[in-house]
Structure 1
Amino acid sequence: MSNRPIDYAHPQKLAAQHARRAIWLIALFLIAVVVWAAISSLDEVVVGEGKVVPSSAVQRIENIDGGLLNEIYVQEGQRVEKGDSLLQMEQTRFYAQLNEGQHELDALNAQIFRLTNELDSVQVSSDKMPWVVVNATSLEKPADMPEDIWLRTEQAYYARMSLLRSSANQTFETITQQTQAIAEQQANISALRQRLQLLNKEISMTENVVESGAVAEMELIKLQREQVSVSGELNRARANMLQLEAAKQQAVEEHKNVAFDFLATTRGEINQKRVDRAKVIENIKGLQDKVDKTHLRSPVTGTVKNIVKRSIGGVIEPGQPIMEIVPLDDQLIVETRILPKDIAFIAVGMPAKVKLTAFDFVVYGGLEGDVVYVSADVQQTEDGEPYYEAHIKTHDSTIAQQSIIPGMQASVDILIGKKTVLQYWLKPLLRAKQTAMREP
């Protein structure tokens, strides 16, 4: 047997050691938990409830001019693509006005065509004959001009050219007469000048003879009297010549003015016709637009609803709603109601997660989106509950290849920031500290 003494305190020491180890382990665990809570963050979200609406407003189909309903091509709830035919309205009255406007446009185009050719058919010279040339050329029919209008246009062109030529010929006849009178007067002046020269020579010779006494002085006086008479006649002829030349120049100006007046009037008519044509073209555009709008097409891809008029031949008042198209292929907007206590943390641009109640979030997930609108003032529900409205625009319009339709209910988580786990734990304590030692 061993004589070693028994240590009765050993079990107590072991127990103490185990206790200290446990305390250290617990302390280390608590420290690790606190450190983890201090550095680990969680999303801080504001939760709201809302419903899906298209980013484009519901399209109301109407006709601004009204009329009779001829045919309707769609039914309530039918899906339509952008550009699909919806209905056809009566268009006879607009076609009649459009045809009348087109006929007026054809007539104006023909008149401008004729007037332009009339300008090209008249030439005026300022300094030499012929002063006015009227050259009625052979017109070439424009391809788009109706035959009946072309015949009237061609006849009017040749008639006006003939009338202008007749007027020009009348004034030119006056010029011809004045030219002939000038030629006759020039011949008369030439004869008088020669006669005067002979008289002067005869008087000179007679003066020498009179001095010698061979001829009586009376003969010299007769010659001198005739010299004075011829000289006066020559002066009158020259004065008359100036008058004839002035008259001829006036006749030339009147002759040219016939053409100038015609050209000025024609240019003025062309300008006025072009103004009238511009007005008619605008009127035709408006009428064509009215004709086009009698055939109503869907402005968007969507679903037909609220068809008001169904009876063929029924009267549709101007601006009266006929049906509505709810857009489908569009980015979605979730109109979300936010409690007033949470609105201070929400701003445009914040990310959000949209969870549709029609699709199990665990199976299908949600839609990512962003806050695009926050109402500036509080609103109220029908029950009087206050709320702010926020709009969330989703990045996709489908979920798991499933279509999302307007009206679906959704739960929206708006990410307003991040907090550590420790801040979440301390929040109740901090709230309690703020309310402690106060009597309600």
Structure 2
Amino acid sequence: MSDMPHDRDTAQPPPSTYLVGGAVRDRLLGLPVTERDWVVVGSTPEEMRARGFRPVGKDFPVFLHPQTNEEYALARTERKTAPGYHGFAFHTAPDVSLEDDLRRRDLTVNAMAEAADGTLIDPYGGQADLDQRLLRHVSPSFAEDPVRILRVARFAARLTPLGFRVADETLTLMRNMVEAGEVDALVPERVWQELVRALAGPAPRTFIETLRACGALARLIPELDRLWGVPQVAKYHPEIDTGDHVMRVLDQATRLSPEPSIRFAALLHDLGKGTTPTDLLPSHHGHEARSEKLVLEVCARFKAPNEFRDLARLVAREHGNIHRALELRPATVLKLLEGTDAFRRPERFAAALVACTADARGRLGHEEDAYPQAEYLQRALQSAREVEVQPLLERGLKGKALAEALRRERVGAIAKLKG
């Protein structure tokens, strides 16, 4: 299996070297193999360095091949020493077996290896679980690392199109981990990393639903988790449940755009409905302002990049006005364009329109509806931007008078769109 060069001057891995993890899994599934990781059994750090490998591991010996830059890790075991995912002690030695190393991995489908001659080493039933489309933990030590909850949710989201699901016993174990408080040890940056990777994948809904099923969503994004069970007016939302609606919106955003920032905005756009006073339900008057506030809190917690924060904030605050665009007076349309900074940030405004299209279609029975508001607002923006300033300057206008004249001209240009 190894395609390492065999020139005398080229570094050679020790003979007991195995391809492991995702590369083996994806090859068996017929998926593209984008990166390869290797495990070396029966070697030492000194021997690896002598062969020209560059050490990079801080906690345990990992080396980069001098030509391919692929990672070669010495076979290791690990032992839980403290709460959270930093509390581990690692042990590497020449007598650590391949089976020992594979046992510490998260899922059986990730605990397979392949020898240089192509022989599959599968001590924990990974191939059978691939055939049954199951994501199942290798051993009870799975419960020692809370990051694995995020990883399982992301793998589920990635492999949902192939029919995979989380094994019942693994979901139970994940639920027990949440109840034991392990998830509370996750740092926000790692949660964000996994969330964005899931949002970029083929089925981000599955990531959210898996976290919710084990109770982790309530700990990580309680603002989102509490939307389930919150009713909406059936006339506008035949699906009624707000959590159901948000998952449908995420599905539509996934159909419409590959951009994680748009999918993120779709996911969080209705957070304010979770704080609507019960005596007002199923109406949600003013939920946009509450949604914007909660979006900012979520983004601050996870240190979300400005691109994600600003788009999600805009969609949360303005999606109601965007939905009503065809009913608005031209002056109000211009005010909407100015308030969303559409003149300076047209790409972000276009992204917001995609998220709003997903919102409109994320309702039971409305999945294929047209959304003329998006085209109208794009045309309104274009017409307003085409208004020339030079004639106004030639009339001697400046300062406040110039700004007011420009605004009148832009309102007039928008008004012509409706004939």
TM-score with structure 2 setting the length: 0.17
Q: Greater relative contact order: 1 or 2 (C-alpha under 8 angstroms, separation 6 or more)?
A: 1
TM-score with structure 1 setting the length: 0.17
Larger radius of gyration: 1
Question: Comparing both structures, which one devotes a greater share of its residues to strand?
Answer: 1
